[in-house]
Structure 1
Amino acid sequence: MINRPDYIAAIEPFIDKPLVKILAGIRRCGKSTIFEMLREELLRRGIGEDQIICKRYTEMDIPENITAKQMYDELTAAMAGKGHCYLLLDEIQEITGWEKAVNSLLESADADIYVTGSNSKLMSSEISTYLT
């Protein structure tokens, strides 16, 4: 992986801010790589590995028809007892209704949330309205 400090510098002002950070772009443009760089930056800052929860929703170990509720339950279970966590949720558009789950996490969990997706739905004004 080639380190791209400008990308982390662009994200840095938003780390630990109470809003969902969305990285959207076309397929294969490097969103997942930026997540890996962000994970490394968090580790450099002393964040424990167990507090950084990374999920890629295109992996084969994710059930094909996982619901937003199942995603929410899985993430809250993964965060249990760990204090402040960082959620890096890659290709989240694969989960129908993900917006509701992420909004619930934003409101009730002690988490800093980052999502990626390549679907134009992630850029719709409805999403930003729903998540605010």
Structure 2
Amino acid sequence: MTLAQDIGQWAGRMVQVVVGGESLKTRRAADRRRALYHQAFGLRPDATCLLDQLAQANGRLVTNQEALRTIGRRGQVVDLRPRSPEVCMIDIRQNVGADAVETVRECSWRLTPLGRLRVMRAQGVVFSAAQIGIDR
């Protein structure tokens, strides 16, 4: 097989191996969370990246530029043609819930308290009535 044939074979899916960056332990933890989000909500890989970024932000706004840097990064492989954050947000709202994400000034997002609760439940966190402020 020639080099041209090799390149042509991979032309449909362009990926690049990323060297450096976050520690291996941090990347593996993020991969485990993304797998849980995929199982719990049925999200596509790009949307799981954005949902994980929103969950890790702890109520802080995530801008469109921050989302663009994260979407497509999965482990040590980067997809050079990821979906846009807006398309990923549609996927998140359809599968996690329309009330799970708040849009701020049309270019930033954050999880609502209900969205954070759903994400934590997908991660396997068990809540008692006393923990969430419901007295019975």
Return the TM-score normalized by structure 2: 0.30
Structure of higher CA gyration radius = 2
Higher RCO (C-alpha 8 Å, min separation 6): 1
Q: TM-score under structure 1 normalisation? A: 0.30
